[in-house]
Chains A and B, each alone.
Chain A
Amino acid sequence: MLLRGLLASVETGVNRVLRLDSTALARLRPLTGKVIAVRGSSPTVQLFILPSDEGLMLAAEWAADADCTLRAPTSTLLRLTLSKDKSAVLHSPQVDLEGDSAALMALAAVLQDLELDWEYELSRWIGPVPTALIGGHLRSRANWYQQGFASLNQNLAEYLSEEARTLVGEREAQARFEQIDRLKLDLDRLEARVERLSRSLKPSDHA
């Protein structure tokens, strides 16, 4: 019952998030009726996902056969949940897919493309005008912080590589790597030439 309680809470949270995206539920509609089984190993976990245009239903067990079964180590499943590029994780060799994989791929695509309209949700609680004010304020703050971090990042990199000389600059490192590559090629050529000369100085076996 504890697991079911946990799944019910997660389900409520996930569906609330899905409703913040204007297209997610519509994109889930064609998946209605599909049963996706997720089985993790070490530690063993099992979960059934039933998508529909009302969101996702999460079940600890399901009496009917699954349309698609995903088997993977639990750590990989966690990575799949957190990863932005879910398709890449699904195509990794540790992941085993059985049945109608298109359903799972479609679900992964919906989750990957989520664009949450948090302003709409906020406006339902506090109204459109305060939401617009808060939204504008937060956006300008976010831009300011973004620019500030980018600028700090650039200045710090320049200071460490150009002024303090603690780190080697990227261009300088690139030039040094190219020199090393050239030197390596020159050495290879020299070695080949010495080899050829030593062979020509040796008396021939047929002489």
Chain B
Amino acid sequence: MVKIAVPQGLVSFALILVTACSGSSEPTERQHADDWRAEISSIKYGSTASEEDPIALRRIELAAEFLSQAAGIPVRVYQTSDYNGTVQALSAGQLQMASMGAGAYSNVDSQIGGLADPILAERNSYGQTGYYSTMIVRADSPYQSIEDLKGKTLAYVDFNSTSGYIYPRWKMDEQGINPDTFFGEAAMAGKSTQAVLALSNGQFDATIVNAHSGTPETGFSMGTIKRMARQGLIDEDEFRIVWTAGPIPRSPRVVRTDLPTEFQDLIRGALAAMPYDAPQAYAKMARLPGSHYRPVDRRFYEEIIEMRTKEIERHRRRAIGGEG
């Protein structure tokens, strides 16, 4: 279900505002070069960011403000309650663009193919456009490696989460660990914050969350654990990484391709220019200096798309009574 990120009492006001900004109410034949606004009067930008993750929510709001100035039309942020909400809303054309994980994009790709394109992904100042899945346990637990977790309980993030489900399961499989039978019990926590809190509370023996700005050899400077520690939700010393998988292609900004070409070029250019044209706003997004957006296309996510396709096949086989 899609919900708009506006307090209930202000919903009617927001609708008036959008109507006022739309200019033309009916799409008209394009009469001059920049008349793409006749086809799109406001931008609906989807994200799973929520109040539970204020940094992610602030990021999307700042990007929306910048895009609104660049495009000269309102940009409204739509929060979805889970990853699948964004996938379905973008696939159905209820959103024009979205920030989503590579796994969620692969689901969009499986539903509508070329009707949505990934256009940009973040790249750090060392030229890296990848991040990692990290399997973490409590530091006071006896588990030192993934092998120690045989028969134990594991919290994934979400079925559509790249680093918290799709990618690590694929890599476990490649390493001879069948994720469906290796663990005693596995469940979805919903979001990475909930996954870590559930681990901290002793509801699970391990969970899998993302980490970036580093490598398994050098350690990681950013990611779920670092973010939650900065927010004061956890003490990072209470956790230990026992397994990593990656690098995974960074989360794309995805746009519908059935929208005017001018709009797609504008969104790609404006977002990519943000670190340079609006460095203060970009810094407020809690992005590291020197990080920026790299242009990408579907080819950048082909491995993830293949993983997702095989994961879905595996679920179908299991659903009809075949092997898992």
Are A and B interaction partners?
no
A interface, CB within 8 angstroms of B? none
B interface, CB within 8 angstroms of A? none
